[in-house]
Structure 1
């Protein structure tokens, strides 16, 4: 978190100026994922898991293979895959994982995406999240249930498409809907000039061979590949604004929704009511 604050403050201090290293700072602002230490309760849960390490290729930033770490609880027949959000890690689902462990005949799999938590990588992006989820699916087999929070919801959509699986239940918790709008919000908060923002998005398109506006859940959604999709949200979520979600739900009326007010974007995954609802859904 300290590094991200430093980058943010550097950009703020420029007062809209555009020094020669501006674009490098912008990439760090958008693609550096802050890392928070593991708490004691979280570490105790990780100690109970069977750890694993897999690799994915990062052709954009590291330009090499990156190792990422994962964790498995249980050896049941029903597989549950959890994909965390931006600036998060598997251990941040400690309360949910502890509850899911009480469901009979389950195997719970979670991982730290490249550039997040305990895994390798300086900068990260949505595609690395999706590649990691895909690598887990190919290694452990198709999950019956896939859970994703925030950016993890988008990553799961891509992984489902890429692997061709058809999960019985997809659970999205406060999923991001429009990645470019999130980028713009971060850039505006740092007082980045419009011309520098335009340059960043031009470079983004060149690097990823895709306009940032294409990274929306509407575009990425694996329609027809999910038997049941259940989505939880807080209508006052500032990170995943409701107007974007409303547009998505209008296009996909089959998605079931549940509202959890007053929790915001991060605390929602720890909410006792949400966790109880998820256990009922899965059990």
Structure 2
């Protein structure tokens, strides 16, 4: 367990004009509200790179990579010189340098870090995206720059890694940090943040299933976990305001070979730079 520190609500707040628009559309037509919610759900926020990530951004070799199945280019970062490679995958509205503290520690011990800006994130193309595009990006990066020893993913990145492994992405071990799990839970939470009727979440799921022609629950992390046989370290904070800790317990329960680390008072993002967490990851991957 980590030392206790003041808890901060790191959950992203939705601007009032968006909330008002969503409520107005719901009054007019649930169908319009669903379409509006679907657009918001697939549109990440592009944040400026914070100073703590500057050195990784500046010292990385960067190249654009076309993901043929998406016909989109993504920005790939190569950090460090080691022969053995680790893939880092950021979460929703993140970027390829977000897991910088983890990257720094592994570069110090001789690994090369490869990360990327997912579609519609950072320096990559597009305005909208969804988890299937994260997965496609991982699989294409493996083709071009693999093989990888390990993979570490935060939030949606953790879900994407488990789903990529299910689709034959090969690594020796994996780590998920603050990963979401059940798709309907994610949609329910999103609709709740928009302050819409819970029924919109069901309509939203139906909207995506009609669009993509498959059940969204096929991508739930616990469902993918059932097909994962490699060792996986599942890390989550008890006080995560973005993703409930129950996700970690359910993912862990469905993995065949896993370890669970529950922290306290680190929330959804501070956890990425915590020394105790990083040391635990190093011990797990080196074992």
Give the TM interval when normalised to the shorter protein. 0.7 to 0.9
Taking structure 2 as the reference length, the TM-score comes to: 0.86
Report whether the alignment pairs 1:102 with 2:108.
Answer: yes
The alignment covers a number of residue pairs equal to 275
Tell me whether 1:73 sits opposite 2:79 in the alignment: yes
- Match for residue 275 of structure 2? 272
Secondary structure of 2:98's counterpart equals: helix
1:198-237 superposed matches below 5 A: 198-221=202-225, 223-226=227-230, 228-237=231-240
CA drift at 1:15: 6.4
Are the counterparts in 1 of residues 62 and 76 from structure 2 also a CA contact under 8 Å?
yes
Gaps of 5+ in 2: 1-11
Q: Which residue of 1 aligns with 2:5?
A: none
Counterparts of 2:83 and 2:208, CA distance in 1: 41
Q: Distance in 1 between matches of 2:201 and 2:134?
A: 24
Whole-Å separation in 2 of the counterparts to 1:23 and 1:88: 25
Q: Which runs of 5+ in 1 are unaligned?
A: 59-63
CA distances 1:241-283 after superposition (whole Å, capped 9, x unpaired): 2333323323336311112111111221121221232233345
Q: Is the 8 A contact 2:187 2:204 kept in 1?
A: no
TM-score by length of 1: 0.87
Q: How does 1:1-283 map to 2 (within 5 A)?
A: 6-14=17-25, 16-18=27-29, 21-57=32-68, 65-104=71-110, 106-165=111-170, 167-221=171-225, 223-226=227-230, 228-252=231-255, 254-283=257-286
| Contact 2:64/2:76 (8 A) holds in 1 | yes
Where 2:234 maps in the other structure, the secondary structure is strand
- Deviation string 1:165-210 (CA, Å, 9 cap, x unpaired) is 2x22211111111122111111122122355444322221111112
Change (3 A) 1:142 1:272: same
In the TM superposition, what is the alpha-carbon distance from 1:139 to its structure 2 partner? 0.6
Contact kept, 8 Å, 1:79 with 1:108, in 2: the verdict is yes
Q: CA deviation at 1:111?
A: 0.5
SS of residue matched to 1:90: coil
